[in-house]
């Protein structure tokens, strides 16, 4: 049985101890049962508790309207601005990626939803946030009269973090966004997790300054086209949950460009602003 709004998640628990493995499976089973129940019975908004017309929704229209939607932003890196111009950083040193498209500012309640997603692959609100990101993506390329990249790469985790976490939150977002692009906007993107790898484990990013992030993430990724795909001259998009200083986005874009990609765009649910981004 497939529950509307839930991504198909490939979870690997082989590396966990037996007791931890059964505990993790029990946790997922309980969460899955809860989602099945919610999909069959009338629900209420997770924020204001008002009735929802669709059982697959988690947020009502009023609460969605009050989310921290990004309206004006830098044309290149998507950092929120008072006008749609190039920010000072992009003027001084343009990033490796062509453009960044983000739906929300990294503020409450979006920030808490993203934090929860790092430990819970079944966060209910992510489906609607992903739908709004897909709408922003389709509108951005339409307004710019540019073709949307049709190859979508979830930002990879280092294998040690993947083993410990058992899922990649960027892969969850990528699957949902791809589904919404196809269903609502007739844009068919191909999800590829076999092009890019993270080879450097790195430090916990939120504890580092912007300068430290750039140094820690440099050369953290490698990219190579598999035999089933010709990366040469291809426009690709990399998707993540949140873009902060842009150091990770720059690093992965640089690796893909070196591997032959013509353009690399960054898509993310959220984008930090200068006043809430680590410096």
CATH number at residue 224: 3.40.50
**Lowest-pLDDT choice from 53-67, 85-99, 260-274:** 53-67
Q: Is residue 46 part of a domain?
A: no
pLDDT range class, residue 210, cuts 50, 70, 90: low
Averaged pLDDT, 235-246:
95
pLDDT, residue 7, reads: 45
Looking at per-residue confidence, does 205 or 71 come out higher? 71
Averaged pLDDT, 206-232:
74
- Residue at token pair 């998640």: 9
pLDDT range class, residue 278, cuts 50, 70, 90: very low
Please tell me the total count of domains within the chain: 1
Angle at 258 between CA 253 and CA 261, to 5 degrees: 70
- The encoded tokens of residue 58 equal 């988690």
Q: Is residue 198 part of a domain?
A: yes
pLDDT, residue 93, reads: 92
Give the tens place of pLDDT for each residue, 93-143: 999 999 999 999 999 999 999 999 999 999 999 999 999 999 999 999 999
Instruction: Look at residue 187 and tell me whether its pLDDT is greater than 80.
Output: yes
CA pair distance 257, 243, nearest whole angstrom: 19
pLDDT, residue 76, reads: 94
CA pair distance 130, 59, nearest whole angstrom: 13
CA pair distance 243, 251, nearest whole angstrom: 12
Q: What is the gyration radius of the CA atoms in the chain, in angstroms?
A: 19
Q: Is residue 174 part of a domain?
A: yes
pLDDT, residue 10, reads: 45
pTM of this prediction? 0.81
Q: Is residue 38 part of a domain?
A: no
pLDDT range class, residue 243, cuts 50, 70, 90: very high
Q: Is residue 84 part of a domain?
A: yes
CA pair distance 250, 100, nearest whole angstrom: 11
pLDDT, residue 130, reads: 98
Q: Is residue 154 part of a domain?
A: yes
Averaged pLDDT, 217-237:
84
Q: Domain span at residue 77? A: 69-271
pLDDT, residue 135, reads: 98
Smallest CA-to-CA distance from 64 within 132, 116, 121 is with: 132
CA pair distance 264, 73, nearest whole angstrom: 19
pLDDT, residue 78, reads: 94
H-type helices in 218-276, by residue range? Answer: 247-258
What are the DSSP E strand ranges found in 98-234? 99-105, 151-154, 190-191, 196-198, 221-223
pLDDT range class, residue 268, cuts 50, 70, 90: very high
Q: Is residue 242 part of a domain?
A: yes
């Amino acid at each position: 049985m497939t529950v509307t709004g839930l991504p198909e998640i490939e979870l690997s628990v082989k590396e966990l101890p037996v007791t931890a493995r059964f505990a993790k499976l029990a946790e997922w089973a309980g969460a899955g049962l809860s989602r099945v129940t919610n999909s069959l019975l009338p629900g209420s908004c997770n924020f204001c508790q008002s009735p929802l017309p669709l059982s697959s929704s988690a947020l009502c229209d009023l609460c969605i309207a009050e989310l921290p939607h990004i309206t004006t932003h830098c044309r290149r890196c998507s950092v929120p601005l008072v006008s749609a111009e190039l920010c000072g950083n992009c003027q001084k040193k343009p990033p490796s990626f062509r453009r960044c498209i983000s739906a929300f500012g990294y503020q409450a309640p979006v920030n808490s939803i993203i934090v929860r997603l790092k430990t819970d692959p079944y966060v209910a609100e992510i489906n609607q946030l992903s739908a709004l990101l897909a709408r922003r993506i389709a509108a951005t390329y339409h307004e710019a009269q540019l073709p949307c990249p049709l190859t979508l790469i979830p930002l990879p985790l280092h294998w040690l973090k993947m083993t410990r976490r058992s899922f990649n939150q960027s892969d969850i977002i990528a699957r949902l966004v791809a589904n919404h692009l196809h269903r609502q906007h007739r844009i068919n993107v191909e999800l590829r997790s076999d092009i890019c790898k993270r080879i450097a484990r790195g430090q916990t990013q939120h504890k580092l300054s912007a300068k430290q992030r750039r140094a820690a993430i440099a050369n953290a990724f490698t990219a190579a086209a598999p035999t089933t795909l010709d990366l040469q001259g291809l426009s690709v998009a990399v998707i993540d949950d949140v873009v902060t200083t842009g150091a990770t986005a720059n690093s992965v874009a640089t690796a893909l460009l070196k591997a032959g990609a013509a353009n690399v765009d960054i898509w993310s649910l959220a984008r930090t602003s200068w006043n809430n981004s680590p410096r």
